[in-house]
Structure 1
């Protein structure tokens, strides 16, 4: 059984996340966006080795490098802020998927991230179909989102 909140995560901003101006360093937003979808698939029940390559195993012959990413900062994010992180994955086509991430403080959207991944064969680097487990996670997240909107 899947936990209810595998698409909504929490993160507290730490001193090491911030720059000398006292706000998060820009690169942390994209790092948190990526870590959030990693954590989400973990909570959902997909073993990391089914998605991320393991050099010691030939089980996963697919890699999913980032081909596009962007971040938008809407309000300062400071040390001590407790953020809710909501992720919205979607399939773009047979080999591309996108994860939109919204960072909220006190229910107010303070930042957004977008990461697009491409599914490639690890040896040939040719585009291949997204892994089945990943497709199920994307599909389930869209069903979960659509049910809340009804």
Structure 2
């Protein structure tokens, strides 16, 4: 679980969290998840042989989030095939589900741009 406070910079002119900012916060939760797997984030995100770009993202809000709110994000990784996985994010405030997001990732070789298998350290962490 990833915990974070909502900051003023996360909100729009109406004072609520802007949708793309919550997706960015979900990505923070993914980075924290990788760090907890003992993945060296600097090496992971600058790797010349493996890249895992997001190929689809979606988000649904059920309640607004405001500056100062404390949220908890849970992640569920789902293996689609040997090269593709999804991450479901559940965003809670005071134990209430306030948003759900999903990102779909594909593993590629950044030099050739061809798909390849997901690294073992990530594959081992999937909920199957």
The normalised TM-score by structure 1 is 0.80
Q: 2:87 and 2:27 mapped to 1: Cα distance?
A: 8
Task: State the 4+ residue runs in structure 1 displaced beyond 6 angstroms.
Answer: none
1:82-101 per-residue CA deviation (whole Å, 9 max, x = no partner) reads 10111111111010011110
Higher helix share: 1
Contact 2:37 2:121 in 1 (8 A): no
Question: What is the correspondence of 1:1-150 to structure 2 with a 5 Å cutoff?
Answer: 8-49=1-42, 51-54=44-47, 60-138=48-126, 142=127
Number of residue pairs matched by the alignment: 128
RMSD: 1.4
The normalised TM-score by structure 2 is 0.93
Unaligned regions of 5+ residues in structure 1, if any?
A: 1-7, 55-59, 144-150
Report deviation, 1:79. 0.9
Contact 1:51 1:134 in 2 (8 A): no
Q: 2:64 and 2:109 mapped to 1: Cα distance?
A: 40
Unaligned regions of 5+ residues in structure 2, if any?
A: none
1:96-121 per-residue CA deviation (whole Å, 9 max, x = no partner) reads 01111010011110001100010011
Larger radius of gyration: 1
